[in-house]
Structure 1
């Protein structure tokens, strides 16, 4: 019995003149943001499949590394990261993009590691948490100094962190971004409200001969907030030597755990909506699905998928946790059952390296970005209403 041919995209968005490096759906509106290697950002109408607005927001010489539009920024803002060492927040409306950023962070980070905005699990997404109070209450919080180790059972000893948070607390107060630091082996977390660096995760540990700096550059990041971390930010970071480190900012000197599932640089990490697992892709020929055990602080392989052709630039898990996608160096987008790990489809539309893949918040659309200057929109395995 012959297999059905892979589906085509429902639309192809054309307009960029250079490689499309990153894409991000708006969490509430039918629009998509895309950034390219020549510094241009485009806003697309995903219903009419046309450009709503476009502008060169970073210099053409440096280009755009990443774009992100999340609910925590507000409904009319998005963030961009350029290889010019800046992260910028932009406003947009029906008239188009603002030409002047509402905030510019000069990070002095000139790497190609994409920044990561914060991912909440379902508990924190609905309840929210005013984290600034907690960080200001911790020694060294909200400054460039490293915060000292805070033991887990002492995390809520101050009043600001022990207060209760009801369902009316607004999660729009949580505006943080993680990025590869000025030292390429370090991870930094910045507050997008104050443009201040709040945490710097140590690149080396004097008591550990296998320091983070020995792992090479930080290649990919995921910043997340789980209900199991008592309201404190966590980061999963992938490094040049193929290792991944899980950080809890309460102890910025020593990671929660270190694993090495890949033999080549880790290129992309995505945490699922529960913040209890994720998927990683690398320059090698493996895709890894893993679980994050918060109680024991361990990261365990659930499924290892072998590839015929190495190289994964981007990975994404659909918000409902059922489907995962990867963007490959071989121009292909691969679709997997995230819960079981089995392959579902190989999409062969693009004619250049696939740089990124992402899902809309309602799970109905997937977008893929490619070096061929196009963005593909796909409708695959629509979510069931049950």
Structure 2
């Protein structure tokens, strides 16, 4: 018999809006934090020891916050709102100040993607003002790096992932588009490397395991599409896929150790799979409305690792799903 589904170890309340995005910062020696971005334009900083909001940041004029991330090199926070701004916050010594901002020109729901480089600078990718364009800039200088626009009509940019491969000179970028296509871009050469039709509907979200060169994407249908990147940078669909009970996924997230995949479902549920074989492991039921975001914590001790889920019901659920046996899943 399968084990009963677990309950959240605790929940965070008081966000005052739908939870569009979550980001953990649990480095050793620091207070473990969870950042959340709400549909009412507020970034909450949750202290995971006290289980309370430590600070509330309002820098997007009440517009929905759709992405948050931190710069490991400086500890600065980045937040993206539907006011077409990406704000950089200084949080040192109790400060809560916007010290810089980037205008994206995009009114869509495509989340930014951040890549910290070895030189101490960072690359920020975001959907541009034109429907199909992706812009990449350097931070902190805000110097333009490139603009990526497909030759064919693929519709609006829906989701992106920027990363630096172990081999090869420059960064690569994966993008999902409105027509269901996935495109792989070479940022340095400003050219498309490969393309695959992953879904019949718009690609709502994707996640990519940069160590195993394998990704998965979702649409408003009942299927998760799995795909790989071969040695020649060709995207290839895998036979391995997941058929869901109910359609619609808001976000996908692979745990850093490559053992678990979590999905945020429109059916109010979080589903956990073994990443290797996509075997279903658990269905987490707690929320009363669609789940919009999922994130795994970056605790160094595997036994402390958490899964967080943010919902339209304005609550964040925290789950402990540490599993020694996830290797073979």
Greater per-residue helix proportion: 1
Q: Does residue 216 of structure 1 match 2:155?
A: yes
Asked if 1:235 corresponds to 2:173, the answer is yes
Matched, 1:309 2:246: yes
1:356 Cα deviation (Å)? 0.9
| Cα-to-partner distance string for 1:337-367 (whole Å, 9 max, x where unaligned) | 0011111001111111111111112351111
Within 5 Å, give how 1:181-200 maps onto structure 2. 181-200=128-147
| Residue number in structure 2 paired with 1:258 | 195
In structure 2, what is the equivalent of residue 124 of structure 1? none
RMSD of aligned residue pairs (Cα, Å): 1.9
Displacement of 1:70 in angstroms is: 4.1
TM-score calculated relative to the size of structure 2? 0.91
Distance 2:189 2:214 in 1: 21
Which among 109, 113, 116 is matched to residue 112 of structure 1? 109
Match of 1:361 in 2: 298
Kept in 1, the 8 Å contact 2:296–2:308? The answer is yes
* Aligned-partner Cα distance in 2 for 1:271–1:302: 17
Q: Larger strand proportion, structure 1 or 2?
A: 2
Deviates more, 1:322-331 or 1:46-55: 46-55
Structure 1: distance between partners of 2:188 and 2:72? 25
Sort the Cα spacing of 1:246 and 1:273 in 2 relative to 1 into closer, same or farther, 3 A.
closer
Asked whether the equivalents of residues 227 and 235 of structure 2 are also in contact (C-alpha less than 8 Å), the reply is: no
The TM-score, its normalising length taken from structure 1, stands at: 0.78
Aligned residues: 319
Give the structure with higher Rg (CA). Answer: 1
2:52, 2:239 → 1: CA distance? 40
C-alpha distance in 2 between matches for 1:51 and 1:273: 32
* Structure-2 residue corresponding to 1:82: 81
Counterpart CA distance in 2 for 1:357 and 1:186 is 26
Q: Deviations over 1:39-98 (max 9, x none)?
A: 1010011122111111222111x22111112424x2x31100011111111111352x51
- What is the distance in 2 between the residues matched to 1:68 and 1:109? 18
d(CA) in 2 for partners of 1:383, 1:79: 34
1:380 aligns with 321
Give the match's secondary structure for 1:256.
Answer: strand
Alignment of 1:1-386 (within 5 A): 1=1, 3-26=2-25, 28=27, 29=30, 30-60=32-62, 62-72=63-73, 74=74, 76-93=75-92, 95=94, 97-98=95-96, 100-118=97-115, 129-130=118-119, 173-203=120-150, 205=151, 211=152, 214-230=153-169, 232-252=170-190, 254-274=191-211, 276-301=213-238, 303-362=240-299, 364-382=305-323
Unaligned 5+ segments in structure 1 are 120-127, 131-172, 206-210
Aligned residues of 2:42 and 2:60 also touching (Cα < 8 A): yes
Shift of 1:262: 1.1
1:280-299 per-position Cα deviation (integer Å, ceiling 9, x unaligned)? 12111111222211435333
Contact 1:224/1:275, CA 8 A, preserved across alignment: no
4+ runs of 1 displaced by more than 6 Å? none
Unaligned runs of 5+ in 2: none
Q: What SS does the corresponding residue of 2:204 show, helix, strand or coil?
A: strand
Distance apart, 1:108 and its partner CA:
1.3
How far is the alpha carbon of 1:174 from its aligned partner?
A: 3.7
